[in-house]
Amino acid sequence: MTPMAKLTIDLREGFDDDEVVVRVADREVFRGRVSTRMQLGLAHRVETDVVGPATVTVALGGATRSLEVDPEATPFVGADAGGGDLALRPQGEPFRYM
Amino acid sequence: MDETNDSSARVVALREAHDREERWIPWRRLEVSGLYAHRVRPVPPRPIPIPTPQPLPVRPTEEELGWLDEDEARDVAAALEGEAGLPIPGRPIPGRPIPIPWFSREEIRLDVDGRYPQRTISGTSYRFRRPPIHWVASLRPIRRNLWVGGVWYRDPNDSAFPYTRVIVRAQPSLYVHQRQVTVLFAGGGASSRQVTYRFRSRFFHPVELEFDHVEDADPVLEIETCAHPNRPSSLPCETLSVSDVFERAGFRATVGSDNAIPAQDAGPNTTWSDAEMHDAMQTYWSRFADRPQWALWTLFARLHDLGTGLGGVMFDDIGPNHRQGTAVFTGSFISQAPGSDPSPAAWVARMRFWTACHEMGHAFNLAHSWQKHLGSPWIPLSSEAEARSFMNYPYRVQGGESAFFADFDFRFSDQELLFVRHAPYRFVQQGNADWFDEHGFEQAGLAPSSDYRLEIGVDRDASRGRAAFEFLEPVVLQLRLRNLSDRSAVLDASTLLRQERLTVIVKRAGAPARQWRPHARYCLAPRSRTLDPGASMLESLFVSVSPEGWLLAEPGTYDVQVALELDGQQVVSNRLALRVEPPRDAQRFEQERIAQDYFTEEVGRVLAFDGTRCAPLADANATLRDVADRLADSRAAVHAQVALAMPETKPHRVLRIDDRETAEFVLEDGEPAQVDALEKVFAERRDLAETLGHVDLSYYTDRVSHALVARGEVERATRCAQQVRQTLQDRAAPEELVAEVDRSLAALTPEAAAE
């Protein structure tokens, strides 16, 4: 049986009182307005549990981006907004902020 | 070669010589950078020579060059050819001089040598009850200790500081008291102005740094710069402290005590939230205060609630005074050296040190290097994604962290240094808020004594020291300017009507002070009035609303103070305490409903102008009718009826634009019903004088009476005026106001009606 793993999705740069929806494996895990806290470069962190690879979907206004993620290999996903678009980036290490 | 080219070549040669001298024999030069100040005693302004506005660029005038020796003057003249500087704020009016500005205290920051010179001079000039003027100019060296430059930044950008260029001469000395800088301000259509500033400090600003650490954290406040092998080959090997870093940025840094904070203050989870750190700051920081100050607190803790991914944070964006607290998390990724690093202990120490300086940089309002184009920068900035600065993430540059530190000199970038040294310091100072908040009444030198006294009040009794106003009730001040001297004074009769000379501050308890501004400025022909010893002149002032919004609206306690610029001095009034009551219980719902439409820019404007017939403001009039009808017992209803009736007291000129966009002015007769309604209010309301004030009541009575007379209703007009006269007399109103009503009464005749 595939063990449950933690997936962390960071809404990072470029959010300015934007309505964002985050879905993981077709399940809505976050909906709300977020703004990037400039001194960190982080707007909001979403943590959820998943079993096996899952599709992460982030929707911002008219832009929607999806990414297939294996939480065993890349349990961290960063979402950056800019110019009305979104970029999703998976990585194995936590994103770093200062 | 023509004369200009010859001069330019000479300037280039001089500049090269200057640069050579700086480069090769620095020990011969005494540094001149630093903070200089100039303070003046309040004096009447000098007679102002009338300058001739000229197009830019202009040749330097004799006035600008006369204070220099012959060689200096020639070089400066050559250098200033074509120097335009920042365009003149506003537009000079031919024949109207731009006056020499008058400041109570001035300081400059000369930044031409020492660590990381920015070849910049900036200045702050303090004015009475107005935001200080801040300017910045880039400097070009002309000769040793002589520079010229164009002013490229001005805040606020108005005509109070019209100059476009500066000529700067420094006098270095081994003796501190002999160091001084003379600046000649020129250009911009104003007469030039020369000021000599005395040396205060080699630093541009002070700052007090206080570091505390949690018991389980490992603070790093200094490092050996050569402890790690990956570094610039030119990096001097030295012990470098955090305070050294900020001293090199231009701050006189003093370091406060280091407390050990119990780990349990982080709560049961042992990690720190922003709120917990804010609480700790209030508890442990000896300098904590809810006000701007050049001071900040840094906490070394083990981990933030966000975990090992957060190396540090400027957490203090809670409450009104931000940027006072920062934290470094020594258990985070900044303590995890790469496995292949040749000197992991030095790597960790350097990252902890770097993070402390980075977070403290945020407290000086510095953004991340790649975010500089975002938000509202003080000047247009470009991001510096590859900058080797404390404000860039080492792992974010091309080549990553090792590439960053291979070329990192433990400094802030030039753009950042320009900001922290020369930006208006409300942008930089920790905890700073809007100008004039709390301390606005203290920052200018007041005239030590004056021949006049300005009194402000309201024509009602004060309860518990504060005059109470109903919710929605406009606040009308009564101004009285009294001659305190033992001789008669000749003043402009419109002195109190010249609202551009008034500075009115309204401050609600617990909120920043705000400045009232008039909706209109009147160009009034001067009329002399003799004010005998002890005599006074009166005027009213509606201060509830400014063009920027309502100042006196929400229930609460307020302080109001007024200053009048008179004969070059500021005459400051008493501070008036007011209270705006909450809505009455019986009418709470109705009052709160109407308030949504009432506290608008449009209604404020209509009240400020005593009413309107302007079609686009019909909604505002509808709101005022609502107030007059539905809240008829309220004092706001009196003011609403005044605003509805005043435009109807005489034929009213209205601009009509038809479907073909043809515009014409049409003279429309007044609507008698509104005047009748106001007359009824005058007859029935016992609180008329209290809410309108004696000055305005006298004025409105005159308008209503004449409107009635114009309809042939002399008897009603007389009755109305007599009632008001009696009211004023009963209330012991100033005799001159009663006399004004008497003059109105005398003019209410059948003959006047026939006219």
Does ipTM surpass 0.90 in this model? no
Distance from CA of B329 to the nearest CA of A (A): 9
Q: Predicted confidence band at B257 (pLDDT cuts at 50, 70, 90)?
A: confident
CB contact under 8 A, A98 and B359: yes
Cα-atom radius of gyration of chain A, to the nearest Å?
Answer: 13
Residues 6+ apart with CB under 8 A from B597: B603, B619, B623, B626
Q: Cβ(B152)–Cβ(B136) under 8 Å?
A: yes
Nearest chain A residue to B354 by CA: give it. A98
The tokens describing B265, both together, are 């203050």
Whole-number Å distance between alpha carbons of A88 and A81: 9
The answer to whether B355 contacts A98, with C-beta atoms less than 8 Å apart, is yes
pLDDT of residue B160: 77
Q: Which pair of structure tokens corresponds to residue B29? A: 């030069």
In chain A, helix, strand, coil percent, each to 5?
Answer: 0, 65, 35
Q: Given an 8 Å threshold on Cβ–Cβ distance, is B307 in contact with A96?
A: no
Percent of chain A with pLDDT over 90: 73
Spell out which residues of chain A touch residue B309, defining contact as CB-CB under 8 Å: 94-97
Over 90: is that where the pLDDT of A4 sits? no
Cα–Cα distance measured from residue B737 to residue B612, given in angstroms and rounded to the nearest whole number: 26
Q: What is the pLDDT of residues B309-336, one digit of tens each?
A: 999 999 887 666 788 999 999 999 999 9
Which residues contact residue B661 at a Cβ distance below 8 angstroms, ignoring those fewer than 6 apart?
A: none
- A-B CB pairs within 8 A amount to 43
Yes or no, beta carbons of A97 and B309 under 8 Å apart: yes
Region B264-285 average pLDDT: 88
B410, B415, B420, B425 alpha-carbon torsion, rounded to 10° = -170
Yes or no, beta carbons of B309 and A98 under 8 Å apart: no
Contact status of A38 with chain B (Cβ, < 8 Å): yes
| Beta strand residue intervals within B523-632, DSSP E | 528-531, 536-542, 545-546, 549-550, 556-566, 569-572, 576-580
pLDDT at B165 over 70: yes
Query: pLDDT at position B153, please?
Result: 83
Measured between CA atoms, how close is B551 to chain A, in angstroms? 28
Bridge partners (DSSP) listed for residue A16? none
**Cβ neighbours, 10 Å, residue B661:** 6
Q: Which of A13, A38, A98 sits opposite B311 (nearest CB)?
A: A98
**Given this model, what pLDDT does residue B21 score?**
37
Task: List residues in chain B touching A: CB distance below 8 A.
Answer: 306-314, 317, 333-334, 355, 358-359, 362, 367-368, 371, 374-375, 393, 395
Measuring CA to CA, which residue among B696, B697, B714 is closest to residue B705? B714
Q: What is the pLDDT of residues B680-698, one digit of tens each?
A: 999 898 898 999 999 999 9
Residues B367-407: tens digit of each pLDDT:
887 766 565 555 656 678 899 999 999 998 999 999 999 99
Distance CA B675, CA B704 (A): 7
Spatial separation of the C-alpha atoms in residues B637 and B687, rounded to whole Å: 12
Residues written for chain B: 755
Count of CB atoms situated within 10 Å of the CB of B571? 21
Who among A37, A39, A96 is closest to B309 (CB)? A96
Which has the higher per-residue pLDDT, B153 or B280? Answer: B280
Count helices and strands in chain B by DSSP H and E runs: 19, 32
pLDDT at B517: 81
Distances (CA, A) of B661 to B444, B645, B655: 52, 29, 11
Amino acid identity, residue B515? Answer: Q
Residue A40: is its pLDDT beyond 80? yes
Identify the sign of the CA torsion B351, B356, B359, B360.
negative
The answer on pLDDT for B103 being more than 90 is: no
In 3-state terms, what secondary structure has residue B255? strand
Report the DSSP pairing between strands B312-313 and B251-255: unpaired
Q: Which two tokens stand for residue B145?
A: 């200790």
Q: Is B533 helix (H, G, I), strand (E, B) or coil?
A: coil
- Phi, psi of B553, deg, nearest 5: -135, -55
Residue B8 neighbours by CB under 8 Å, 6+ apart: B78, B81
Lowest model confidence (mean pLDDT) among B57-61, B177-181, B293-297:
B57-61
Give per-residue pLDDT as tens, B366-378.
888 776 656 555 5
Separation CA B669–CA B676 (nearest Å): 15
Cβ neighbours, 10 Å, residue A73: 11
Classify B668 as helix, strand or coil. Answer: strand
Residues of B in contact with A46 (CB under 8 A): none
Decide if B98 contacts B159 (C-beta within 8 A): yes
* B437, two tokens: 């908040």
Substitution target in B298, B304, B310, B335 with the highest count of A β-carbons within 10 Å is B310
Dmax of chain B from CA atoms? 107
Q: State yes or no: pLDDT of B10 exceeds 70.
A: no
Q: For residue A13, what is the nearest residue in chain B, using CA coordinates? A: B371
Chain B residues near residue A94 by CB distance under 8 angstroms: 307-309, 333
pLDDT at B666 over 80: yes
Quick one: which of B429, B487, B488, B482 has its CA closest to B452?
B482
The answer, for A37 touching chain B at a CB cutoff of 8 Å, is yes
Contact (CB, 8 A) for B649 and B675? yes
Model pLDDT, residue B143:
92
Q: Which candidate from B311, B359, B362 shows the least CB-CB separation from A96?
A: B311
CA B291 to chain centre: 16
Q: Given A39, A94, A96, which is nearest B362 (Cβ)?
A: A39
Minimum Cα–Cα distance from A93: chain B residue? B309
Over the Cα atoms of chain B, what is R_g?
Answer: 32
Residues of A in contact with B312 (CB under 8 A): 98
pLDDT at A60 (0 to 100): 92
Q: Left (φ > 0), alpha (ψ -120 to 50) or beta: where does B697 sit?
A: alpha
The total number of residues shown for chain A amounts to 98
pLDDT tens digits along B16-51: 444 433 333 333 457 999 999 987 644 433 333 333
- Does B558 have pLDDT greater than 70? yes
Q: Which residues contact B84 (CB under 8 A, 6 or more apart)?
A: B56, B57, B150, B164
Decide the pairing of beta strands B105-111 and B34-39. antiparallel
Interface test with A, best of B303, B322, B357, B371 (most A CBs within 10 A): B371
Indicate the angle between helix axes B694-710 and B714-730, nearest 10 degrees: 170
The 8-class DSSP code of residue B302 comes to: S
Strand partners, B664: B656
Nearest to B309 among A13, A39, A95 (CB): A95
What is the C-alpha separation between A79 and B753, in angstroms, rounded?
Answer: 78
Q: Which residues of B touch A37 (CB under 8 A)?
A: 317
For residue B492 the two structure tokens come to 């402009």
The rounded distance, in Å, linking the Cα atoms of B224 and B241 is 9
Average pLDDT of span B596-600: 94
Contact B313 A45 (CB under 8 A): no
Nearest-Cα distance to chain A for B311, in Å, is 5
pLDDT average, residue stretch B607-618: 89
Q: Which residues 6+ apart lie within 8 Å of A71 measured at CB?
A: A5, A6, A7, A50, A52, A53, A54
Cβ burial, residue A88 (10 Å; 0-12/13-18/19+): middle
**Residue B136 β-bridge partners:** B122, B153
CA distance to partner chain A, nearest, from residue B319 (Å): 15
* Count of Cβ atoms closer than 10 Å to residue B392 Cβ: 21
Binning pLDDT at 50, 70 and 90, where does residue B469 land? very high
Rounded Cα distance between B217 and B259, Å, is: 12
Least CA distance to B369: which residue of chain A? Answer: A39
Residue B629, C-beta contacts closer than 8 angstroms, at least 6 positions apart: none
The string over B685-715, giving b where at least 16 C-beta atoms fall within 10 Å of a residue's C-beta and e elsewhere, is beebbbbbbbbbbbbbbbbbbbbbbbeebbe
Q: Which of B68, B318, B286 is nearest to B192 (CA)?
A: B68
Q: What is the pLDDT of residues B347-365, one digit of tens each?
A: 999 999 999 999 999 999 8
Strand, coil or helix: B612? coil
What pLDDT digit, counting tens, does each position of B481-493 carry?
998 888 888 888 8
- As a whole number of angstroms, the distance between CA B409 and CA B417 comes to 14
